[in-house]
Structures are given as C-alpha cells and as structure tokens.
Structure 1
Amino acid sequence: MLAVAALAGCTALDPAPLPPSIEADAMASLDYAMQEFMDQDALAVLAQVRWPGGEWSKAYGVRDLETKQPAQPGDRVPVASVTKTMTAVSVLKLVDDGLIALDDPVNGLLESFGVGLKPPGPITVRQLLDHTSGMPSYGDALFRSMDDLVSASNQRLTPLQGLKIASTLPWDERTVGLFHYSDSNYLALGLILERFRGKGYPQILRDDIINPLGLTHTTIDQELSDAPDLITGYITIRGKRVTGSPTLEQLGSPSHGVVSTMSDINDFMAALFGGRLVSATALAQMQKAVIGPFASGMFKWSPDCSGAPRFFARGGFLDFRTIALSSADGRYQATMTLAPAPLPSPQENPDMQDERDLMSSQILSALMEAQDRLCR
C-alpha cells in the first residue's frame, strides 16, 4: 500500500482526446492485472475505467460455479463497505439541511436507541463518520467462530440488533479519538438518519442517491440470490465450498448492504466528487482525513497530476473485494471487483485476512497505474 502512495495521477485540465496508443497502453496494464487475478484461480474480476472523453470495461470469469455462465461487465456484485461512502453522503445531506452538525454530540441519540450502548465520553457525528468514536464493532461478538459465521449469515440483522450486540463489548474511553474501524459506527449513523428523516434507511438511500442518479442496477434491501446477473461468491468451511454474500445479515445495512455494478459505482463517485450530491462545504468536510488516511466514508490517497489527493472507497467480504477510485474533481473514475477462489474464513485460518487485504491493495495499485498512464 505504501508503494502505491508514490504513484502520480491525472491532469487538472481537460485534455484533448488521448492518442489511441496511450489509451491502449493504460488499459493493457489493467487488463494484465485482471488476467493475473484469473491466473490465481479467481472466480471473476470486473472493472470499468472512465476518463475525460473515454470509457473502458471488461469482465473475466464466470457468474457462478454451477452454470459457469460468463461474467459480464454490467453484472451486479455486493460492494460491501462502499455502502459506507453512500451513508456518509446521506449524513452530509443532513448537515446541508441544517438538521445536524458534524461536531454535534450524539450521546443522547445513541442512548435513546435503547440497546445498552454506554459511550465513555462525548461522541460526535464526525467521530462516527471517521471511525474515531472507539465504538466496538458488533462483528467481533457476532462472528466469533465458523458456526457463528453460518448462523449469522442466515438471519436478518437490523441495525438496532447490531448495536445491541456491540453493547455487549467494552467501549474503552482510551480508544475515543483514535482510528478504530468499526461497522457499528455506520449502523448508528443509519439509525440517526432514520430519526431525522422519519423513514427507513433503504428509502433514504434511494431518495438521496439511487433514484436521483438513476442507478437502476443498485439495490440495498432486495434478496437477489436468484438474480441472473449477480456474481456469486464462495468461501470454504472445513474444506467444503459454500455460497457467500449477499446474505440476509447484510440486507439493508448502512454499513455494507449495497449490491451494484461497476458502472453505477462510477456514476456515484463522479456525482459525489463532481459536486452533484452535497454542497462544496460538505464535500470539503467529507474529504478531510482527521487521523490517518480515512476520511468520512472513504480513504484519502496519493495526489494526482494536479496535486490534489485521490480518494477511494473500499469494500470487502470474505468472497469479494471492491475498490472504487476517483480523482478529487470527479473527472476520473476506476472501479474493480474481484471474486477470488474460495478461501477459508479468518475464523478457520487467520492468515486468510491478510491474503484478502493484499488483494485489495493489488486492485488499488492496478487502478492507479491505469489512471497514471491515462494522464500522460
């Protein structure tokens, strides 16, 4: 990941149409990276790249291991924590509407959910967005063993239930103000959104993002196990291959519930950084990384050719890895999803989490290299 940070990015001015040789060179580098994943026995890999005046997309692999239908660039995939970026947008819309401020304490709101959360000190909206609240992640209690993994995946878990599970873990005051990635933060933000908007989180996301942008292949609370255009992921449990996400536990989650396409995610990133979703003031606050590289719902990364940082959203399930990369001005997007070969869960083999994180780093590196070549 550190090596990736040294790469340069895209130009600040709209260029003349790129010579075909430059476009071909940039896409050849990305295509090579995709084929490398397939050489490592990946089930499928999908990507779409956009730049001023151009677009490229590709898919390798199959939709599932039963029918072996070829994967298509427009197929849907669970994008996991890319959902958090969308949730953050809806929260910033609350800020734009004057209903809440980023530095407002939310202790009273958290306690009013009645799930037993006991913040050790003042907790702000910004800290929930930036993962600096110190709130324990409900997954640490929910997914303790392989048996938990199977049972939890087959039950619908509401944000309230998730926070109730989180409340069984200690909330250490020493972690408040430090970066600690926790899905519980975004469950809480989803409930805060519902409190101020007076409707369910899935409808909020449709009203704020999905419908205005025409993201016709993006869903948040639909059961899609039989959808013909859905890429199926797999993991292994005690040596037996099982179907992974999307699962009932994920449906409607403000943390990781979105199922989408490469094109729809690029549309979302372009609209966000192009200033079409939140005010310029809110976007600037959203892009501000307080501790480390994590900003509000996304990661702040190495500068492009204009000197501005690039940003990416990262999603990861046991059976999928997704990176959505954008220039700060919204002119360049690149999104890739990888469905790797079935691997054991971290509960069975802890080293597998490092393996999956490496895949995410490789995806990011490949997408950035393609952008760098385009900006010649």
Structure 2
Amino acid sequence: MTIRGMRSAGVLAAVMALTVTGAASATAQVSGIDRGVVQAGLDKIAADGATGVQARVTGRGESFTARGGVVEVGGHRPVPTNGHFRIGSITKTFVSTVTLQLVGEGKVGLDTPVSTYLPGLLPDGDAITVRHLLQHTSGLYNYTNAMPLDPAGFETIRFKHYEPRELVAMATSRPLDFPPGTKWNYSNTNYIVIGLLIEQVTGAPYEQAVRDRILRPLHLSHTSLPGDRVTVPHPHAHGYLQPTSPPVDVTALNPSWGWAAGEMISTTADLDRFMSALLQGKLLAPAQLAELTKSLPFTQGYGLGIAEIPLPCGVTVYGHDGGIPGYASVAVSTKDTKTRLELSITTGPVAGEFSGIGEVIDEVFCP
C-alpha cells in the first residue's frame, strides 16, 4: 500500500475493489457478523506488512472491537483496542462539517468565491468557490506532491513546523491543474485554504472551531488537534515508514504540514460517535446534510468532505480514509448508521497491499 500525503489510496481502493467476495456473500443468510471472519481479515492485514491493526464494528445488532499484530516491530504486546492513532485525511470530514455549519448560519456561502473571505490568498480566488475547495474541484495543485514524503526525504522535514500560508504558497507557485469546477482531483491544498477561511470567518483558530462545534458537544475526549505536538497520546501502537530497512519508527512527527487537511488524532470509538452523529443529522441541518453527501458525475462519489462508496453487494457506505506516515485509517458507515466500521492500521517497514481490508468490509457490510 502506498501512502502519499494525508490520504491512503490503498485503504479506499480496498473498499471499492470488493468484487468476488462481496457478490458471493450478498446471497448468504447471516444473522450476525462472523467475528472469526473479521479476525482473519485483520490477521491477514498484519501478515501483509502492517505492524498492527485495530477495528470497531457495529452492525446486525452487535458491536465489538478486534485487533491484529503488535504494538511495535519486534515486540509481543497486542495492539490496544482503545488506541489513539493519526487519522490523516479523515480530518477533512471534521473540517467540512464545521464549514457547513457556518453555511447553515449564513456566515459562509458554498458558491461564493474564496476571494470574498480571503482576498489575495489565491491568484484564482475569484474563480474558486468554497464548494470547489470542499469537493476537490478547485484545480489547486496538491502541495504534498512537492514535499519529500518518501522514506529518503521525510526525515529532513519530520519535525519541521509549517505555517498554513506557507503550504498554500507551495501550491500557488504552480499553475492550476484545470479550470475550477471542470474536473476532480484530490488536493490537500483545498482544506488548508478551508482552515484559513474558518479562521477568517470565526475570528479564532480553526482548531477551536472544531473543538467547540464537534468535539465538546459529542464528548470526543480522545480526539485532538495536535498542532506542533509530536507525540501520540497513550495508549497507541507504533507506525513505520514504508519501505525501510532497518525499520524507521515515525510515530513521533510534527503534523503541522497536514494542518486542516490531515493533522488530527482520534480513536475508533470517537470516530464511530462522530460518523454516527454526522450522518444522523445531529451536527448539520437537513439542507447542509444533503450538501455533504451530494457528489457530481465526475467527482468519483466525493461529496463535501465525505465519499459515497457503492459496494458490489448493493450496499452503499459513506466515509473517508486517511494516510499519514506510519498510519492508515478508514471510517465508513451506511447512511442510516446501522452498520459502521472504523479501522486503523499502523504500517510496518515492509509495504503491503492489505487485501484483508476487503474481507473485513465484505463481512461487515454485505450480509
């Protein structure tokens, strides 16, 4: 699996690539989720190059946690089922939720140019709207593509502090990838700009808006926005750069280069509560909840900070994945929130495809 920036394409690809097993199990009569099948999938992930993996499953009248692998390379301690982990781009779903709350309050317009709120920040700010940013249709160059995030280069920036406007400048030094609103391309730059927009509109750090509007109301006490803090709260498993020999433990890093696009830390329990509350309309008014999940024909099912993912068995799930050096994660749910899955992988020094993710998702969502 390849991690580039704050998105783990391998995790989401595994969700969308379910073909044979999903179709086969769609006809099976199953009254409950087979924990043995879930455990086998997690063990397969660990055997395929992960250091460890933890999952939280809700569905068919039951809820449980499971795990595979170990806390750190060479050790024997099992991964904690309540462990903290870096969630990477799942941060975007939190940030989009705050933005849509501001839309509902009349403080932000989805189809208003960015230059209205942040004059001079973007050379094409008059043509790029808030919706374009949230949906990755702005055409802005992805700044993480210009950063040394490969194993050889990451150590040179691992503990470096980045300012948000410095990250935006990396992107705006390049031309747009395409005219705004005409194509879709995942770009972390979009959510750095959204973070700055939230700060401009609220008059406070974007982190405070996330805490006040989401974390505190939902009592997500194990979710944090670390800023320059390099450590992950205990308990946690260790993540490693891929591929490296000898192993390079990158559990400690400065996530300021991810900021509003991917800096957050959470647990499967907190992510589960967030996704459930979000899709049940507890955080957004009906009009904004509808906008959240509204995709366009060319956006690959991506709405405004959340993706709609049709599985071959006929079930559609909604959620996001995330990747940051050392960690890969996914949080997905059916729209009615009756079936949910949160999963965190701590990557090992050997790269793997982690096909066991598909087996877990198939067992959870395809009865």
**Normalised by the shorter chain, which TM-score bucket?**
0.7 to 0.9
- Give the alignment of 1:84-123 within 5 angstroms: 84-113=92-121, 117-119=122-124, 122-123=127-128
How far is the alpha carbon of 1:158 from its aligned partner?
Answer: 2.5
Give the 5 Å matches for 1:159-238: 159-174=164-179, 176-221=181-226, 223=229, 225=231, 227-235=233-241
* Distance (Å, rounded) in 1 between the aligned partners of 2:150 and 2:338: 44
Tell me the CA shift for residue 35 of structure 1.
1.1
Q: Distance in 2 between matches of 1:169 and 1:362?
A: 38
Please give the secondary structure, in 2, of the residue aligned with 1:50: strand
Tell me the C-alpha RMSD between the 2 structures. Answer: 3.0
Structure 1 residues 232 and 145 mapped into 2: Cα distance closer, same or farther (>3 Å)? closer
Counterpart-to-counterpart distance in 2, 1:103 and 1:254? 21
Query: Amino acid of the residue matched to residue 201 of structure 1?
Result: Y
Give, as a single letter, the amino acid of the residue that structure 1 aligns with 2:273.
D
Matching residue's letter, 2:175 = P
Aligned equivalents of 2:113, 2:347: Cα separation in 1: 41
Q: Which residue of structure 1 aligns with residue 7 of structure 2?
A: none
Structure 2 residue aligned with 1:4? 18
Offset at residue 133 of structure 1 (A): 0.3
Q: In the alignment, is residue 249 of structure 1 matched against residue 249 of structure 2? A: no
- Once the two structures are superposed, the pairs formed by residues 274-353 of structure 1 within 5 Å of their partners are 274-290=280-296, 291-302=299-310, 309-343=316-350
8 Å contact from structure 1 (residues 121, 173) kept in 2: no
Distance in 2, Cα, partners of 1:124 & 1:160: 18
Q: 1:175 to 1:281 in 2, by over 3 A?
A: closer
- The whole-number CA distance in structure 2 between the counterparts of 1:147 and 1:255 is 23
Q: Which moved more, 1:277-286 or 1:242-251?
A: 242-251
Is 1:23 aligned to 2:32, yes or no?
A: yes
For 1:133, the equivalent position in structure 2 comes to 138
Q: Distance in 2 between matches of 1:100 and 1:72?
A: 41
Question: 2:360 aligns to what?
Answer: 366
3-state DSSP of counterpart to 2:56: strand
* CA spacing shift, 1:81–1:111, aligned 2, 3 Å: same
Identity %: 25
**How many equivalent residue pairs?**
347
Is the CA contact (8 Å cut-off) linking 1:323 and 1:363 kept in structure 2?
A: no
5+ residue gaps, structure 2: 1-12, 24-28
Q: Residue 117 of structure 2 aligns to a residue in which SS?
A: helix
CA deviation string 1:126-168 (max 9, x = no partner): 1101100000111122227655422222112232221122222
Q: Give the direction of change, closer, same or farther, for the CA distance of 1:302–1:311 in structure 2 (3 Å limit).
A: same
TM-score (norm 1): 0.83
1:156 aligns with 2:161: yes
Question: In 2, Cα distance between the equivalents of 1:234 and 1:371?
Answer: 30
- Provide closer, same or farther for how the CA distance between residues 265 and 152 of structure 1 changes in structure 2, counting only shifts above 3 A: same
Q: Which runs of 5+ in 1 are unaligned?
A: 9-18, 344-351
Alpha-carbon offset, residue 98 of structure 1: 0.7
Match of 1:318, as an amino acid?
Answer: P
Say whether residues 1:39 and 2:47 are aligned partners: yes
Q: Distance in 2 between matches of 1:212 and 1:192?
A: 22
Cα pair distance change 1:318/1:278, threshold 3 Å: same
1:227 deviation in Å? 3.6
**1:103: how far off?**
1.0
CA 1:154–1:23: 2 relative to 1, 3 Å: same
Give the Cα separation in 2 of the matches to 1:308 and 1:70: 32
1: distance between equivalents of 2:33 and 2:250? 35
Check the 8 A contact 1:202/1:252 in 2, yes or no. Answer: no
Q: Deviations over 1:335-363 (max 9, x none)?
A: 111123214xxxxxxxx6xx5xx43x752
Q: Deviations over 1:319-338 (max 9, x none)?
A: 22211111112222111111
| 1:20-41 CA-partner distances (Å, limit 9, x unpaired) | x73352x222111001112224
Larger RCO, structure (CA 8 Å, separation 6 or more): 2
Structure 1 residues 111 and 121, CA, compared in 2 at 3 Å: closer, same or farther? Answer: closer
